[in-house]
């Protein structure tokens, strides 16, 4: 038997895993062969310990989000609208807001004209989100 096949036959006999035997061909020096065996052994051990899929421990316990219809109006129209510091559009705005339980919501209407005032509506986490929010952009009472 030629030397390469002898090494392959020895690797096959010494290893229970045929994939290791394939990696241990005649072209690899012994140190590479040991590293390959160690890597494959570690990989197989991890798969056995962790399984094919993992499920987070908190699965099913996270608060779920539910889309809530929301309309934001202003007088005059054209105010820039932000919900929780994210720009959503200009008034009149209609959309769905994804609110998670126990989350407070801040709606801001930024003026489109110099004679208008910034308006802010804060909704506490325990309050329901109104379907319609109206801002009078000339009123300095939005804080």
Spatial separation of the C-alpha atoms in residues 133 and 143, rounded to whole Å: 14
Residue 60 lies inside a defined structural domain of this protein? no
Q: pTM value?
A: 0.54
Spatial separation of the C-alpha atoms in residues 84 and 12, rounded to whole Å: 63
Specify whether 74 is located in the same domain as 132: yes
Residue 143 lies inside a defined structural domain of this protein? no
SS3 content of the chain, % helix, strand, coil (to 5): 25, 30, 45
Residue 57 lies inside a defined structural domain of this protein? no
Residue 26 lies inside a defined structural domain of this protein? yes
Residue bearing the bigger pLDDT, 102 or 84: 84
Q: Tokens at residue 143, please? A: 């804080």
**Residues 58-68: pLDDT tens digits?**
444 545 677 88
> Based on the structure, what is the number of domains in the chain?
2
């Amino acid at each position: 038997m030629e030397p390469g096949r002898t090494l392959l036959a020895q690797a096959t006999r010494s290893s229970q895993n045929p994939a290791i035997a394939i990696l241990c061909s005649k072209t690899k020096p012994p140190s590479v062969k040991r590293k390959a065996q160690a890597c494959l052994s570690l990989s197989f051990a991890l798969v056995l310990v962790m399984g094919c899929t993992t499920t987070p421990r908190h699965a099913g316990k996270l608060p779920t989000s539910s889309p809530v219809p929301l309309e934001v109006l202003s007088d005059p129209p054209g105010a820039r609208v932000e919900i929780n510091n994210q720009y959503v559009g200009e008034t009149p705005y209609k959309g769905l807001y994804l609110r998670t339980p126990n989350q407070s919501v801040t709606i801001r209407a930024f003026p489109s004209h110099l004679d208008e005032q910034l308006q802010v509506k804060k909704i506490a986490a325990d309050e329901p989100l109104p379907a319609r929010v109206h801002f009078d952009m000339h009123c300095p009472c939005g804080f």
